[in-house]
Amino acid sequence: MLEQRLRNLGQDHIARLLNSEGSPATRQKIVRDLEGVDLELVNSLILAKGLYCPTRGELEPADVIPATFASSKEAVASIEHGRELLSRGKVAALVVAGGQGSRLGIDAPKGVVGVTPVEGKSLFHLFAEKILALKNRFGRAIPWFIMTSRENDSHTREYFRENGYFGLDNGEIHFFVQGMLPSITEDGKFIIAGNGGLFMNPDGHGGTFMALRRSGSLGMMKGLGIEEIFYFQVDNPLVKVCDPLFIGLHSLNRAQMSSKVVRKTTFEEKVGVITRQGDKTLLLEYSDLDDAVRYARDAAGNILHWAGSIAIHLIRRDFVESITEHGSLLPFHRARKRITVSDASGKMTEIEGIKFETFLFDALPLADRSITLEVLREEEFAPVKNLTGVDSLESSRHMQTSLYASWLNRLGIEVGNGISVEFSPLFALDFEELNLKAALLPRAIEKDTYFG
Ligand code: UTP
């Protein structure tokens, strides 16, 4: 049956492995790899149907609520509303952690990497403490959904188990696994991996929506009374998980999917930008920006499309239900990647492969209503993407310590040059909480210090 389907799709070399040519182990691996894979969909992607088409037509800059709004009198009602939704248990947190982290080059889930400046806490540990701090503050657990991939699911679960779920209740954390798709060669053939199975790749963070539905997590959210999903990526230690202002603004505006942005610093900065076309909000990946959009200037000569996405979104649960009801509505993006395979003689060799992925932000234009909130990069965005340089472990640690030092400076406390400081979210989740504990703090900080 599977064999015949593969033949019909021109994948005879795989069909043969399922028949007489493959060992029982190989057969088993291939069958398992293709379990749940929609082969007809993959075939249409190979034939270039259902692929993302760059948006045509005039693009306007996004309508953005400026960062200054946060300290205005008008913000109070939104913050109050956000807090109320949190204390009524209406918000879930969701982190996507199914990526391969290839730029970081580690053989483990990215979430286990130690990132904090003094204690070297892992990303998962830090997020868990933020969620625990919110639970303490609002008197209500925040269900935390963690998307993994087939490759890192067991490692991720084991890591949480070994660490006693970092103080959260095991039942408050819900792992779910995203889909995988076979990678292909330039001429559309599936690739045999070193382990004898197929070379597969996770189906992108856009796979979150269908994975939520298929895994039963969406139904579970409904059962728990969740209305809003706070979405973030695994690599940003500065994320303000379940920020009440963002939740309140999004909810009071009856938005279905909303985004946080920072001001781009250069035309070339590698972040996606939020733009508008008519009444639709769009997010364009940096690699899809054409030069006319990338280098467009406003009347004052500044970057016109300045709203750089930091991949933090609020998404209504019922919006996810509606866009997944009849299968995924997201277009697929095609990306080249180097793949190591063994050739006919068993020698390892690198080939240029192609992977297909969907992107979560392609759901933005499907939303009838969306808001975009500007935040300050130094307060909310320090991603760990690369080993060195921009967006690296080093730059992220530096930004974390700078933020904590700025809180101390606001309280009149000096932090020596080159000194690292770190607050556990359980000590102070934000400046306001630190302010309440000012009497506990020293007058000056002259050595690396952790407040736990
Ligand atoms: P990135 O685009 O940074 O990809 O993912 P990555 O796989 O982590 O890293 P590189 O590009 O291989 O170096 C952004 C976020 O989306 C998640 C990642 O885990 C990260 O939180 N993601 C990405 C998934 O959950 N699944 C995917 O298929 C892709």
**Per-residue pLDDT of the chain in tens (452 residues, 90 and over written 9):** 889 999 999 999 999 988 877 788 889 999 999 998 999 999 999 998 888 987 778 899 999 999 999 999 999 999 999 999 999 999 999 999 999 888 888 889 999 999 999 999 999 999 999 999 999 999 999 999 999 999 999 999 999 999 999 999 999 999 999 999 999 999 999 998 888 889 999 999 999 999 999 999 999 999 999 999 999 999 999 999 999 999 999 999 999 999 999 999 999 999 999 999 999 999 999 988 999 999 999 999 999 999 999 999 999 999 999 999 999 999 999 999 888 887 767 777 888 999 999 999 999 999 999 999 999 999 999 999 998 999 999 999 999 999 999 999 999 999 999 999 999 999 999 999 999 999 999 999 999 999 99
Ligand 1 atom nearest 201 alpha carbon: 28
Same domain, yes or no: 370 and 393: no
Instruction: Answer whether residue 349 is part of any domain.
Output: yes
Query: Ligand 1 pocket, 109 CB below 6 A?
Result: no
Q: In the prediction, which pLDDT does 24 show? A: 87
Question: Are residues 317 and 411 both part of a single domain?
Answer: no
Tell me which DSSP letter residue 62 carries. Answer: P
Residue 261 in domain: yes
Please say whether the beta carbons of 351 and 361 come within 8 A. no
Only one residue has tokens 């030069």, namely: 291
Q: pLDDT at position 46, please? A: 93
| pLDDT score of 369 | 97
Look at the alpha carbons of 195, 158, 116, 243 in this order and tell me if their dihedral is positive or negative.
positive
Q: What is the pLDDT of residue 23?
A: 85
Cβ density class 123-135: b for 16+ within 10 Å, e for less: bbbbbbbbbbbbb
Q: Per the domain annotation, does 392 fall within a domain? A: yes
Q: How far apart are the first and last CA of the chain?
A: 59
Question: How far, in Å, are 200, 229, 321, 393 from residue 93 at the CA level?
Answer: 28, 6, 17, 24
pLDDT score for 410: 98
Residue with tokens 């069958």: 31
Q: Based on the domain organization, do 216 and 303 belong to the same domain? A: yes
Q: Which of 384, 406, 427 is at the close of a domain?
A: 384
| Domain final residue, candidates 329, 355, 384 | 384
154 alpha carbon – ligand 1 mean position (Å): 17
CA 208–ligand 1 middle distance (angstroms): 12
pTM (2 decimals)? Answer: 0.96
Query: Is 160 part of a structural domain of the chain?
Result: yes
Residues 380, 392: one domain?
A: no
Based on the domain organization, do 212 and 91 belong to the same domain? yes
Which residue, among 17, 163, 177, has the nearest Cα to 98 in the 3D structure?
177
Outline where 101-235 has alpha helix (H). Answer: 123-138, 153-162, 207-215, 217-224
Does residue 265 sit in the same domain as residue 275?
yes
The domain boundary, picked from 350, 384, 418, lies at 384
Same domain, 73 and 103: yes
* Domains in the chain, number: 2
Q: Say yes or no: 394 and 375 in one domain.
A: no
Mutation test residue for ligand 1: of 110, 156, 235, the one with most atoms within 8 Å of CB: 235
Q: How many whole angstroms from 233 Cα to the centroid of ligand 1?
A: 8
Same domain, 379 and 390: no
CB of 179 within 6 A of ligand 1: the answer is: no
Closest ligand 1 atom number to CA of residue 98: 25
Query: Are residues 180 and 264 both part of a single domain?
Result: yes
Output the six-digit token pair for 34. 């293709």
Distance 416 CA to ligand 1 centre (A): 36
Instruction: Answer yes or no: do 248 and 396 share one domain.
Output: no
Ligand 1 contact via 181 beta carbon (within 6 Å): no
Domain assignment present for 212: yes
Tally Cβ neighbours within 10 Å of residue 113. 18
Rounded distance between C-alpha atoms, residue 34 and residue 158, angstroms:
25
Residue 172, domain extent: 55-384
The pLDDT of residue 164 is: 98
Judging by DSSP bridges, how do beta strands 200-202 and 144-148 pair with one another?
unpaired
Phi-psi region of 36 (alpha: psi -120 to 50; beta: other; left: phi over 0): left
d(CA 354, CA 186): 7
CA 387/CA 103 separation, integer angstroms = 7
d(CA 301, CA 8): 56
- According to the model, what pLDDT value does residue 269 have? 94
The answer for residues whose C-beta is within 8 angstroms of residue 38's C-beta and 6 or more apart is none
CATH of the domain at 90: 3.90.550.10
Query: Which tokens in the block code for residue 272?
Result: 């996606």
The length of the chain is 452
